[in-house]
A and B are shown apart, each in its own frame.
Chain A
Amino acid sequence: DAGVTQSPTHLIKTRGQQVTLRCSPKSGHDTVSWYQQALGQGPQFIFQYYEEEERQRGNFPDRFSGHQFPNYSSELNVNALLLGDSALYLCASSLDPTPTYEQYFGPGTRLTVT
Chain B
Amino acid sequence: TQLLEQSPQFLSIQEGENLTVYCNSSSVFSSLQWYRQEPGEGPVLLVTVVTGGEVKKLKRLTFQFGDARKDSSLHITAAQPGDTGLYLCAGGGDAGGTSYGKLTFGQGTILTVHP
Contacts and interface: CB of A to CB of B under 8 A. Distances in A.
Interface of A: 4, 31, 33, 35, 40-45, 48, 50, 55-56, 58, 90, 92, 94, 96-108, 110
A68 to B, nearest CB: 14
Contact of A105 (B44, B93, B97): B44
Question: Which of B6, B43, B44, B104 has the most C-beta atoms of chain A within 10 angstroms of its own C-beta?
Answer: B43
Given A98-B92, A102-B48, 7 more contacts: A42-B4, A45-B102, A45-B104, A97-B100, A102-B31, A103-B103, A105-B44
Contacts of B88: 42-43
Contact of A50 (B35, B41, B45, B100): B100
B56 to A, nearest CB: 12
B43 A43 contact: yes
B102 A33 contact: yes
Given A99-B30, A101-B30, A101-B93, A107 B42 contact: yes
A92 to B, nearest CB: 8
Given A42-B107, A42-B108, A99 B40 contact: no
A101 B92 contact: yes
A33 B101 CA distance: 8
Interface of B: 4, 6, 30-31, 33, 35, 40-45, 48, 50, 88, 90-93, 97, 99-108
B45 A104 contact: yes
Question: Which of A40, A101, A110 has the most C-beta atoms of chain B within 10 angstroms of its own C-beta?
Answer: A101
A45 B103 CA distance: 7
Contact of A42 (B31, B48, B105): B105
B105 A105 contact: no
A9 to B, nearest CB: 9
Contact of A4 (B42, B92, B106): B42
A110 B39 CA distance: 11
Contacts of B31: 99-102
Nearest to A57: B102
